[in-house]
Chains A and B, each alone.
Chain A
Amino acid sequence: MCGNEALAEAAILAGCDAYFGYPITPQNEIPAYMSRRMPEEGRVFVQSESELAAINMVFGASATGKRAMTSSSSPGISLMQEGISYLAGAELPAVVVNITRGGPGLGNISPAQSDYFQATRGGGHGDYRTIVLAPSSVQEMVDCMLLAFDLADQYRMTVLVLADGILGQMMEPIVLEKKPSRELPPKDWALTGAKGREQNIIRSLWLGEGVLEKHNNKLKAKYEQVQENEVLCEQYEVDDAEIVVVAYGVTARIVRGAAAKAREEGIKVGWIRPITLWPFPTEQISKVANEFRIFLTVEMSAGQMVEDVKLAVAGKAPVVFYGRPGGSVPTVDELLDKIRQLTLRHEIKI
Chain B
Amino acid sequence: MKTVFKRTPTLKDCPTHYCPGCGHGTAHRLIAEIIDELGIHDRTIGIAPVGCAVLAYDYFDIDMTEVAHGRAPAVATGMKRTNPDKIIFSYQGDGDLAAIGTGEIIHAAHRGEQITVIFINNAVFGMTGGQMAPTTMLNQVTATTPKGRTRASEGYPLQVSELLALLPGAIYVERCALSTPAQIRKAKKAIKHAFELQTNNAKGLAFVELLCTCPIYWRMTPAESIEWIEKEMTKVFPLGCLKDTK
Please say whether chains A and B are actual partners in one complex: yes
Q: List A residues 172-203 near B (Cβ within 8 Å).
A: 191-196, 199-203
Q: Are B78's CB and A57's CB within 8 A?
A: yes
Q: Across the two chains, which residue of chain B brings its CB closest to A85?
A: B68
- What is the CB-to-nearest-CB distance from B208 to chain A, in angstroms, rounded to a whole number? 21
Q: Across the two chains, which residue of chain A brings its CB closest to B75?
A: A60
| Residue among B57, B103, B107, B110 making CB contact with A203, cutoff 8 Å | B57
Which chain B residues border A52 with CB–CB below 8 Å?
71, 74, 103-104
**Given contact pairs A56-B68, A90-B65, A191 touches B45 in the complex (Cβ within 8 A):** yes
A63 to B55, CA, bound (A): 17
Which chain B residues border A230 with CB–CB below 8 Å?
none
CB of B41 closer than 8 Å to a CB of A: yes
Which chain A residues border B86 with CB–CB below 8 Å?
64, 192-193
Q: Are A53's CB and B45's CB within 8 A?
A: no
- What is the CB-to-nearest-CB distance from A199 to chain B, in angstroms, rounded to a whole number? 6
Q: Are B62's CB and A199's CB within 8 A?
A: yes
Which chain A residues border B64 with CB–CB below 8 Å?
191, 199, 201-202
Which chain A residues border B107 with CB–CB below 8 Å?
48-49, 53
Q: List B residues 45-93 near A (Cβ within 8 Å).
A: 45, 47, 54-55, 57, 60-68, 71, 74-83, 86
Q: Are A18's CB and B81's CB within 8 A?
A: yes
CB of A20 closer than 8 Å to a CB of B: yes
**Given contact pairs A193-B43, A194-B63, A203-B57, A56 touches B78 in the complex (Cβ within 8 A):** yes
Q: Are B81's CB and A44's CB within 8 A?
A: yes
CB of B44 closer than 8 Å to a CB of A: yes
Q: Residues 197-227 of chain A: 1 if any B CB is under 8 Å from the residue's CB, otherwise 0?
A: 0011111110000000000000000000000
CB of A66 closer than 8 Å to a CB of B: yes
A63 to B82, CA, bound (A): 11
Q: Across the two chains, which residue of chain A brings its CB closest to B66?
A: A203
CB of B13 closer than 8 Å to a CB of A: no
- What is the CB-to-nearest-CB distance from A65 to chain B, in angstroms, rounded to a whole number? 9
| Residue among B42, B55, B75 making CB contact with A195, cutoff 8 Å | B42
| Residue among B61, B63, B76 making CB contact with A192, cutoff 8 Å | B63
Which chain A residues border B110 with CB–CB below 8 Å?
49
Q: Residues 323-349 of chain A: 1 if any B CB is under 8 Å from the residue's CB, otherwise 0?
A: 000000000000000000000000000
Which chain B residues border A82 with CB–CB below 8 Å?
68
**Given contact pairs A193-B63, A202-B65, A60 touches B103 in the complex (Cβ within 8 A):** no
Highest count of chain A CB atoms <10 Å: which of B63, B71, B76, B104? B63
Binding site for B on A (CB under 8 A): 17-18, 20, 44, 46, 48-50, 52-54, 56-64, 66, 68, 82-83, 86, 90, 191-196, 199-205
Given contacts A83-B71, A86-B67, A201-B64, 16 further A-B contacts (CB under 8 A): A18-B82, A44-B82, A49-B104, A52-B71, A57-B75, A57-B81, A60-B75, A60-B80, A61-B81, A62-B78, A64-B83, A83-B68, A193-B62, A196-B42, A200-B63, A205-B55
Q: Can you name 16 A-B residue pairings with CB atoms under 8 Å?
A: A44-B82, A52-B103, A56-B68, A56-B104, A59-B75, A60-B67, A60-B76, A63-B78, A63-B79, A64-B45, A68-B82, A193-B45, A201-B64, A201-B66, A204-B66, A205-B55
